[in-house]
Structure 1
Amino acid sequence: MQIPIHQIGVAAMLATCPFAASHAAVPENSQSSDESVQTSTLAPIQVRGLQTRIVNGPIDFTSTTTTASRLGLQINETPASVTVINRETIEQRAAENTQEMLRGVPGMSASSPPGAVNVSYRGFTSGQVAVLYNGINLQETGQATRPVDSWIYERVEAMGGPSGFLSGAGAVGGSINYISKLAQRDEFYDVQLRVGSDDLRSAAIGLNRQLMGQEGGTAHYVRIDASHRSGDGWVDRNSSRATQVAVSVLSDLTAQLSHTLAYEYQHEIERSPYFGTPVLNPKEGELKIDSKTRTKNYNSRDARYEQRVQWLRSMLDYSLSDAWQFRNTAYWYEARRDFRNVENYNYTADNSAVMRSGPYLQRHEHQLYGNRLETIYNGTIVCLKSDWAFALDGSISYRTNFPSSATYLSVVDPYDFEVEDFFDIPGMYDSFQKDRRTRLRTLAISAENRTELLSNVQLITALRYERLKLDLNNYRSSSPTNPAHFGRSYSATTGRVGLVWDPASGVNLYAQYATSADAPAGSLTTTSYANLNDNAKLSTGNQVEVGGRFSFWDDRITVGLAAYEIKRKNVATPDPQNPRTTIQAGKQSSRGVEFTLGMQPTAALRLQANLAFVDAQYDNFRQKIGNDAVSMAGNRPVNVPNRVANLWVDYDFHPQWTASAAVRHVSKVYGNVANTYYVPAYTLLDLGVSYKLSSNLSVAARVRNVTNEKYAVGTNSISYYYAGAPRTYELTLRAAF
């Protein structure tokens, strides 16, 4: 009798109930927001005020990262470009949501139109960039990665390049890992209130308390973080509200055993979502809009986007000895997303009117069940210090779609118009019709090793074998080209080998080779029958990277450098003999350099900066145009900038006052594979000032997009581009005890 893997995951959660045992204290770091297992003595409870840690200064290359390894490596022990944006940095830079948190990652750009989430990293986008939540891969970088309020997240980590050895399928350009706040052995309160332009109102609270027990014995701690945000958008008739809650309980069961149970809930509603601004004809070269339509909203009067997301994780940490440590993570994820929108807007040939079309009703239901067992062994190989990490991962994912659309055309004056209620559109009904469901079963085993070849030379290796079984059920009329059921199995072996060398004090060099695998087109959870039928194997990628990290001037200047080349093959591309079908003959590549800098010239002045250049192109790729498959070799992929730069400066001009500035530049991006049109480069300036009223209370004012730059963060289709926000103001009050 076979037991479904999702039942195994649920059983593991119940078996590791935090109150199932009672006993003495666990080592302090046996549970942290890191995914690694560590040991030390239990820290006493402390009551704290506002964070005093310096940010936007020298980069901390000693930060431990869980995204690049399960061995608990520091950044300077990792043969890869790794970025960690911690909680203090998120607050100092006033990153409102998960997408703004990513600006600290060299070369990364992102935008979030309601119909998709566009992330570009090292020349790759969409399904080629893995987005993780606490190390869990949803196998989707679309709606599942829509930006949400940053309050419940402790930090975000990113690693550039292939990372399939740890993240699984879908990590060619890199991996992004959002790590949630979890209960700590501490006591504190955090409160944040924010108001701003467009009727922005936001309130957030966090607390961490000891429930029962005492130091040196059985103890339980609870943490609750909650936020609510509402406001009007900067386009007409657009408004939104969002609520998030994260609750976790940390239980010290014995001196070697601890358990954390964590639950997260997110709910967001957006009314009349902004799907973009129509582009003036002709659509070639630099795309242009009529500035008088920048704030116009051509969506239906009662259009809507809504999402509800829930996470449940059970994490059991056991330290058998100084050499052996274990962690088991059982998890459940559930999401439902509803759309009802008119999504396409085009000008008439003479640009005198706007044609509205594309009414679309959709529901996504997504469930994920899984369990991950990790083992860490610290030992030796022939007298050489050698550490191992082993993992066994299993998960099952269900994704069901309920799409409905209709043929519809409404022609309106660009400036003065009325729009309909969505269900007044002929052919649109207030009911959902199940279209198809995909089931993705994943089983993977992985191993990592760090061996100290010399006192200053370390060899880092990793290997992962993964089996994926994908099934598609069609709930509508079946046909030979769209059968009632179809499935395919995939397998992938990915890995990494790297060297880290510390030739002198303040100098850290590395080199690595890494591989990855991903879906030939789109993502596995959103695939269509045609993609399953035509593409028999996964696309593969590999990267060569060299880099270094340097510290100067008594560690007051830190520099990071990385150079890489990534190649991806077996990409789905139209068959030149039969453009109606695809073959896996496409190739894609990128090469680039990344530079990061952190400085503290004086006790009062701090800055950080990053700069990235990437040359990304299709080496062999065709696009169906009419009845032909036309070569696009040499062209740059859509929505990939070849240059991204960021700068943050903080100046304490008085013991209680700090002035801040942030500058961001993103180069132009093409809107189609043929590279015949693009949106131009843009540069944004944000300014802020904060005043510390006491050790527990501060107030900050910020102006975003000070110059009121009119820009687009990317193209969303051939008919329009997605404009960025104009100048806005906000005031934030924060208290911590």
Structure 2
Amino acid sequence: MRISSKSIRSAGVSLPVISFVLLTSTSHAQQSDGTLEQVIVTGVADRQLLLDARTDTGSRIGLTARETPAIVDILSERQIAELGARTNIEALNRAPGVTSSLPATSPGAPTMRGFSGAAVGLLYDGMRVASPLIYSRASDAFMFERIEILKGPASVLYGEGALAGAINLVPKQAMLGTDQIEAIASYGSYDTVRLAGDVNLPLGERAAIRGIAARGQSAGWVHDSDSRLLATSLSATLKPTDSLLLEFAADYSEDDYDTADLGTPLVPRAIARSPSSAATAPGDLVIDRALRRTNFNVTDAVLDSDTLWLRSRVRWQINDALAFSNEFGNYRSDRSFINAEIFNFNPSSGLLDRSTGIVTHDIEYSIERPTLSGDITIGGLRNRFAIGAEASRLSFATRRYFATTTSVDLFEPERGTFPGGTDSLEPINQKSEVDVTAVFFENAIDLTSRWRVAGGARHDWIDLDRLIVNSPKFEREYSALSYRLGTVYDLAPKTQLFAQYSKAVAPVGNILSLSSANSRFDLTKGESVELGIKSSLWDDRIDATLAGYRLVQDDIITRDPANPALSIQGGRQSSRGVELSLSASVTSQLRIDANYTKLDAKFDELIEAGGISRQGKTPPRIPETIANLFAFYSFDSLPVTLSAGLRHAGSFYTDNANTIRARGYTTIDAAVGYKVSFGEISVRGRNLNDEFYVDYSDVSPSQFQVGAPRTVEIALLASF
């Protein structure tokens, strides 16, 4: 299915910057019975009590974040607005221990706990489609009720691939009994415009509908890199009886990047006009600041997608102890990539050589998940459980064509049109189908009033069919068991110790693009041990969590030590780290939120071509330090709020040999908000220190996305 819309392209206009931020809004979490559980109180310095919020991402048995024997971080709608996050990418980059990438080809692909790619599960309303590198897109944050992040192996809940954890984007759903109208309008640097509206209408006491739309566009800080995002949602909630709840939703989104910025290449320092140390490589290669706004893509490039999600959820409260639910989802997405993608400086010619590619994705996914859950007493002990099954089918068709196009001057590129080159290759056409059948069980039993043991298991049967034109078709069946066992002990009513051991599985690569050579390999195996503490202190004015973990992935592809030309399973990758998160109402006016992650990620066993060992090297894309610090201040005598934020991400490598390095960076944001009778007007500055930094690009290890420079925006949030 192809549905597209085009908008008028705007030229980039830079605004002077000096400013500051805050958008606050009221947020609610909707319970499964359709009623509303208010999880915040008024006032900027007041915290949301999110440790006591129920999280469907961490379990299927109604545990709160505090009761779950793992770290579950929640970014509520209010927090997302306070942080000034316009997209899911910006929101995740402010979450504890998470980074989310910038590339237009796979925006939002996350890293977590020392792993990336297929090892991190990316969910939409609890449904996982595929590897984030295939599935992820930028979405307007206004569409989400919250974002939940489950740390550690999550295969027991979401199947293969969720080795390092799972990120769940939870969209807004129609709410019973609540009239609500909200709107956002903002304008900022580089002609960045954002318009969004949300209307929730109750239809009597037992029905409600909700419509949401968000539109954003920007000229971009890189020349001729206009982008447009569109997101819409229509949902309905019905409660025909006290025991039956029905939810339906249709979400449609588009993105269109036109001549997208595909990154900036490393060049010799000797020819750079303004050399920087933002990224370096052997041969004295650097990123040139003078190329910060240069676009090397062809002038008629295409990079767009459209996506339709249809979802339903039925919940029947059979009696006081038992409930049955059924979730169904259907996802369809079409994507087109026609670009000059990979850029390499040629020292012989002094020009930039460019490769080109045409890639299309046609994805369809359906999932059905019935679950029986209960909250019963056995031998005087409270016992919560869920047992269910899952059946899904994922179809992925792609056509790929790669060639080269004209070489261009670094500083005055004549970009040309597509293809304009030579050395064309034959198209590669392929289709993959993945059928998954699974059964799962989860249980939590309160052994005493202070001690809880929780665990679960899931068995997956995976059938993979892959056809590549002009190549033999191959089929593969996998059978995998994942499980976890954890415990939570109450040191005090609001202080809990927890521990957990988990086993998980992941494919040796992206299962949708698995080569025939790699199809002979089994799923890799992962295990994790985690210990931590969660506590609310000082009359609930402080929430703090601290966790330490070790995560290991075995049976990654390596080379046979006796014959380096032969690929085998037997390698190992691991990480260990600590994560600290804190939210504190220091005074009635001042709130501080902070998080810090320090990890050590490495290849324990990995031999590459030529028999070269990568033992001890850090896997690509993984920053080993991540820190965020945010402060929010509300005046007693003035309707004014101030906020400031600092984000730090450590250095990372883009190759297994750790020869190409991106320097770590720190950015500073700030904002001021003025409350009016119908909402709030705010002015926000981002990257106020104008840090020059780079982020990961998924097209080449020696090509980077340059981060956004200093920007400012003015916004209006209205509530009626």
Shift in Å at residue 326 of structure 1? 1.1
Aligned-partner Cα distance in 1 for 2:283–2:497: 42
Task: Classify 1:454/1:540 alpha carbon distance in 2 versus 1 (closer, same or farther; 3 Å).
Answer: same
Alignment-derived partner of residue 566 in structure 1 = 551
Alignment-derived partner of residue 328 in structure 1 = 326
Helix, strand or coil at the partner of 1:289: strand
Would you say the 8 A contact 1:37–1:325 is kept in 2? no
Aligned equivalent of 1:497, options 455, 480, 485: 485
Shift in Å at residue 221 of structure 1? 0.9
1:229 pairs with 2:216: yes
Would you say the 8 A contact 1:58–1:600 is kept in 2? no
Shift in Å at residue 104 of structure 1? 3.7
Aligned-partner Cα distance in 2 for 1:677–1:662: 29
1:703 pairs with 2:682: no
CA displacement, residues 304-341 of structure 1 (integer Å, 9 cap, x when unaligned): 20000100011111111110111111110000110001
Matches within 5 A, 1:234-253: 234-253=221-240
Alignment-derived partner of residue 110 in structure 1 = 100
Matches within 5 A, 1:597-616: 597-616=582-601
Shift in Å at residue 417 of structure 1? 2.2
Aligned-partner Cα distance in 1 for 2:45–2:144: 17
Matches within 5 A, 1:332-371: 332-349=330-347, 353-371=350-368
Aligned equivalent of 1:191, options 176, 183, 200: 183
Query: Which deviates the most, 168-177 or 105-114?
Result: 105-114
Q: Percent identity?
A: 31
Aligned-partner Cα distance in 2 for 1:729–1:531: 48
Would you say the 8 A contact 1:163–1:171 is kept in 2? yes
Query: Which deviates the most, 340-349 or 162-171?
Result: 340-349
Aligned equivalent of 1:71, options 42, 61, 80: 61
Alignment-derived partner of residue 99 in structure 1 = 89
Aligned-partner Cα distance in 2 for 1:544–1:718: 32
Matches within 5 A, 1:573-588: 573-588=558-573
1:464 pairs with 2:445: no
Shift in Å at residue 78 of structure 1? 0.6
Task: Classify 1:104/1:709 alpha carbon distance in 2 versus 1 (closer, same or farther; 3 Å).
Answer: closer
Matches within 5 A, 1:482-493: 483=472, 485-493=473-481
Aligned-partner Cα distance in 2 for 1:121–1:235: 28
Q: TM-score, normalised by structure 2?
A: 0.90
The 4+ residue runs of structure 1 with deviation greater than 6 A are none
Shift in Å at residue 287 of structure 1? 5.7
Aligned-partner Cα distance in 1 for 2:626–2:356: 35
Alignment-derived partner of residue 384 in structure 1 = 381
Would you say the 8 A contact 1:398–1:437 is kept in 2? yes
CA displacement, residues 47-77 of structure 1 (integer Å, 9 cap, x when unaligned): xxx9946478476310111111001111110
Aligned-partner Cα distance in 2 for 1:358–1:94: 37
Matches within 5 A, 1:142-291: 142-185=133-176, 186-211=178-203, 214-215=204-205, 219-281=206-268, 283-284=281-282, 288-291=286-289
Question: Structure 1: which amino acid aligns with 2:156?
Answer: F
Alignment-derived partner of residue 529 in structure 2 = 544
Task: Classify 1:247/1:715 alpha carbon distance in 2 versus 1 (closer, same or farther; 3 Å).
Answer: closer
Task: Classify 1:602/1:227 alpha carbon distance in 2 versus 1 (closer, same or farther; 3 Å).
Answer: same
Helix, strand or coil at the partner of 1:638: coil
Task: Classify 1:428/1:237 alpha carbon distance in 2 versus 1 (closer, same or farther; 3 Å).
Answer: farther
Matches within 5 A, 1:12-31: none
Shift in Å at residue 433 of structure 1? 5.6
Aligned-partner Cα distance in 2 for 1:703–1:302: 33
Aligned-partner Cα distance in 2 for 1:460–1:539: 25
Task: Classify 1:195/1:220 alpha carbon distance in 2 versus 1 (closer, same or farther; 3 Å).
Answer: same
Alignment RMSD (CA, Å): 2.2
Shift in Å at residue 240 of structure 1? 1.0
Would you say the 8 A contact 1:33–1:182 is kept in 2? no
Aligned-partner Cα distance in 1 for 2:228–2:330: 25
Aligned-partner Cα distance in 1 for 2:439–2:371: 10
Query: Which deviates the most, 201-210 or 109-118?
Result: 109-118
Aligned-partner Cα distance in 2 for 1:55–1:100: 23
Question: Structure 1: which amino acid aligns with 2:387?
Answer: F
Matches within 5 A, 1:590-629: 590-624=575-609, 628-629=610-611
Task: Classify 1:511/1:683 alpha carbon distance in 2 versus 1 (closer, same or farther; 3 Å).
Answer: same
Helix, strand or coil at the partner of 1:532: helix
Shift in Å at residue 647 of structure 1? 0.7
Aligned-partner Cα distance in 1 for 2:465–2:526: 24
Task: Classify 1:324/1:435 alpha carbon distance in 2 versus 1 (closer, same or farther; 3 Å).
Answer: same
Alignment-derived partner of residue 450 in structure 1 = 444
Matches within 5 A, 1:26-65: 37-38=32-33, 52=42, 54=44, 57=47, 60-65=50-55
Shift in Å at residue 113 of structure 1? 1.1
Task: Classify 1:413/1:314 alpha carbon distance in 2 versus 1 (closer, same or farther; 3 Å).
Answer: same
Shift in Å at residue 721 of structure 1? 1.7
Stretches of structure 2 lacking an aligned partner (at least 5 in a row): 1-27, 270-280
Aligned-partner Cα distance in 2 for 1:619–1:230: 44
Alignment-derived partner of residue 83 in structure 1 = 73
Would you say the 8 A contact 1:58–1:556 is kept in 2? no
Would you say the 8 A contact 2:445–2:454 is kept in 1? yes
Aligned-partner Cα distance in 1 for 2:235–2:309: 11
Matches within 5 A, 1:674-713: 674-694=657-677, 696-713=678-695
Aligned-partner Cα distance in 1 for 2:232–2:627: 34
Task: Classify 1:287/1:599 alpha carbon distance in 2 versus 1 (closer, same or farther; 3 Å).
Answer: farther
Would you say the 8 A contact 2:646–2:666 is kept in 1? yes
Task: Classify 1:697/1:105 alpha carbon distance in 2 versus 1 (closer, same or farther; 3 Å).
Answer: closer
CA displacement, residues 434-487 of structure 1 (integer Å, 9 cap, x when unaligned): 61111000011111111010101101111111111111012x223xxxx1x101
Shift in Å at residue 581 of structure 1? 4.4
Would you say the 8 A contact 1:33–1:181 is kept in 2? no
CA displacement, residues 617-662 of structure 1 (integer Å, 9 cap, x when unaligned): 00111222xxx13110110000101100001111113531001101
Would you say the 8 A contact 2:44–2:589 is kept in 1? no
Would you say the 8 A contact 2:525–2:553 is kept in 1? yes
Aligned-partner Cα distance in 2 for 1:301–1:104: 34
Would you say the 8 A contact 1:468–1:490 is kept in 2? yes
Would you say the 8 A contact 2:102–2:696 is kept in 1? no
Would you say the 8 A contact 2:268–2:284 is kept in 1? no
